[in-house]
Chain A
Amino acid sequence: MTLLLPLLLAVAAQEPAPSQATVVQEQAAPTRIQWFGTLEQGLAEAKRTNRPIMMSAAAPSCGGIAGEW
């Protein structure tokens, strides 16, 4: 999941399309996407504001160890 971040970070970037260098740089920076963490909230907010939904899911563990996507 960690390496999916470049694609998702492109969404959050408020800059011109990223070069390879900026992609690498952004991987080390905090994600700027503000995620809704529940389906109920996300669906409600999408309907209320008429926004499309970017739906992502992952287990918050890697190799059974907690704390890493």
Chain B
Amino acid sequence: MANSRDWVCVRLASYEEKEESEYLTQLYRGRTGLLNNTTFALLAPDGETLLAPSGRGPQFVLGKRGNPDQQAAPEDVIAFAEVLATKAKDYDHKGDLALLPEALDVRRALVVAACDNQPLVVLYAESDQARHKAKAQLAELAWSEKFVGRMQYIVATSREELGQISGLPKGDFVAIIEPGQFGLEGKALGVLGVAEEKADVAKLLRKGLKSYRRKDLPSREHRQKGRRADATWETVLPVTDEGKPPQRGDAPARD
């Protein structure tokens, strides 16, 4: 069975960063010739060589061109997992995944946490030394069995970035945050100083996971509530995809 840790899994927020958008457009572009709302590709470690056809979603790997918003068939799930397992065997890993997996910044981290319905861990430290030490500790925890895939992470670069999060202390800290329904603000569920031991940080993360309240609104209700609350997302770059399912005449998947 495929193991996601045989792969480096990268998920970018479309229309947020120029270089990333240009890169994604090289991987796949739709009928407009511009960046799609969604992009999916399997790549060699060089980040350039495609290992399977790229497209709007994982179904393109299987040579299917359906609407990525449709339910995946169980046989496709199995076939996709097999593709991943087979392709991963071509690469001998050198060491474990170890970098702290971060979002672009606090704003993007909050909204991604809301999208994934997960807590966000925020680290802030004035001094480089304290920040590096706390970040390394957090990275170890992020890849540990107990926490892997359960939270988002961000190291804040300034206090100004933190204005949308309530309950944060004045000094340096590691905090676990519950994003609001739309990821435009958040509140601290727990806070620690950055000099604490790893075991104490782990305790903080466990506490945060336990007290986190999942938000499971159906998609339609989420959008209705969002429109009433004016919870719109403003992309940094222009959106170049109308969000329609792929149609005949779309650019073919890149092999």
Contact = CB atoms under 8 A, between A and B. Distances in A.
Interface of A: 1-4, 6-8, 10-20, 23, 28, 30-39, 41-69
A12 B102 CA distance: 19
Contact of A55 (B41, B92, B239): B41
A32 B8 contact: no
Interface string B93-135: 1111111011110001101101111100000000000000000
Contacts of A47: 45-47
B77 A43 contact: no
B4 A11 contact: yes
7 closest Cβ pairs, A-B complex = A65-B226, A42-B10, A61-B233, A66-B233, A32-B149, A37-B103, A67-B182
A67 B181 contact: yes
A16 to B, nearest CB: 7
B201 interface: no
A12 B150 CA distance: 12
A51 B80 CA distance: 18
Contacts of A30: 116-118, 149-150
A16 B14 CA distance: 33
Contacts of A33: 4, 9, 149
Contacts of B226: 63, 65-67
A3 B24 CA distance: 21
Contacts of B246: none
What is the size category of the interface that chain B forms with chain A? 35 or more
Interface string B1-30: 111111111111111010110011001000
Nearest to B235: A59
Interface string B41-66: 11111110001000001110000000
Contacts of A64: 232-233
A67 B183 contact: yes
Contacts of A38: 10, 12, 17, 20, 102-104
Contacts of A36: 8-11, 99, 101-102
Nearest to B184: A66
Nearest to B84: A11
B74 A67 contact: no
A23 B77 contact: yes
Given A54-B42, A55-B42, A43 B47 contact: yes
Contacts of A15: 1
Contacts of B80: 7, 10-11
Given A52-B8, A60-B13, A3 B232 contact: no
B245 to A, nearest CB: 12
Residue with the greatest number of chain A CB neighbours at <10 A, chosen from B12, B39, B46, B235 = B12
A60 B13 CA distance: 6
Nearest to A12: B4
Contact of B2 (A10, A39, A68): A10
7 contacts: A10-B77, A35-B10, A47-B46, A53-B44, A53-B47, A62-B223, A65-B232
